[in-house]
């Protein structure tokens, strides 16, 4: 049968399927944008409706903040990562009432965040804690109670901590290093059979991102 004929016959079905897909995507995108704006308002505290009006007023009066708002909501609508949307909301809140360096800094932060996929966040979260094989070293340094002490990681130790990252850890490390979220300490001889591997450690900027991704502290009941 001619392909054009088949295509014509399938047109109603394709239109129905696309309609359902686009409808579902629209609903999800609106929900994600709503959540991001709600996160931003919650970060500021006070009356949420009033804070949302402040975002709109800031965008209307300052082109740079308008760019930040547009970039943030565009990224938010397309990401399924709840913690990423939370960090985006915090960017909007942090830059409110500032028309200079802070807005520019948050635009740079949002651009960086846009380049991170779930695997990158997954690796960074692993690197925010100490690897098991260095627990004894931390004890010898009397730093066992400091979760940020002795956090040197290798590709092999990341995969050991999360076997699902095998084959993906190396590429994720390159992206994280490019954005300054981790530091490369150079090649080291690691346990057999891994040979030589680069040693990585989360940077202060990486810790900052982890904090921005975290759920807000809830008051104890």
Task: Give tens-digit pLDDT for 111-146.
Answer: 999 999 999 999 999 999 999 888 888 898 898 888
Task: Give tens-digit pLDDT for 149-159.
Answer: 889 999 999 99
pLDDT for residue 6: 46
Alpha-carbon distances of 122 from 12, 26, 149, 162, 208, rounded to whole Å: 41, 27, 20, 9, 15
Task: Give tens-digit pLDDT for 20-33.
Answer: 655 666 888 888 89
pLDDT for residue 3: 47
Query: Which of 77, 79, 68, 78 lies closest to 111 in space, CA to CA?
Result: 68
165, HSE (Cβ side, Cα atoms, 13 Å): 24
Sorted by where each starts, the structural domains of the chain and their CATH numbers stand as: 13-114 (no CATH), 118-213 (1.10.10)
Predicted TM-score (pTM) above 0.85: no
For 31, the enclosing helix (H) or strand (E) is helix 3-44
Task: Give tens-digit pLDDT for 75-101.
Answer: 999 999 999 999 999 999 999 877 668
Largest CA distance in the chain: 77
């Amino acid at each position: 049968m001619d392909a054009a004929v088949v295509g014509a016959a399938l047109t109603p079905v394709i239109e129905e399927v696309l309609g359902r897909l686009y409808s579902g995507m629209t609903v999800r995108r609106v929900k994600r944008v709503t959540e991001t704006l709600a996160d931003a308002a919650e970060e500021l505290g006070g009356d949420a409706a009033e804070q949302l009006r402040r975002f709109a007023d800031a965008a209307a009066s300052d082109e740079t903040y308008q760019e930040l708002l547009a970039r943030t909501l565009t990224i938010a609508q397309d990401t399924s990562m709840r913690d990423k949307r939370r960090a985006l909301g915090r960017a909007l809140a942090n830059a409110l009432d500032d028309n200079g360096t802070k807005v520019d800094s948050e635009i740079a932060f949002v651009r960086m965040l846009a380049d991170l996929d779930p695997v990158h966040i997954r690796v960074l979260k692993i690197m925010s804690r100490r690897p098991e094989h260095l627990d004894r070293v931390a004890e010898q340094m009397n730093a066992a109670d400091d979760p940020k002490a002795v956090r040197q990681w290798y590709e092999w130790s990341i995969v050991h901590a999360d076997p699902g990252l095998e084959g993906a850890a190396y590429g994720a490390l390159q992206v994280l290093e490019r954005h300054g979220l981790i530091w490369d300490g150079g090649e080291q001889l690691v346990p057999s059979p891994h040979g030589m591997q680069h040693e990585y450690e989360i940077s202060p900027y990486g810790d900052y991102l982890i904090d921005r991704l975290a759920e807000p502290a809830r008051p104890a009941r």
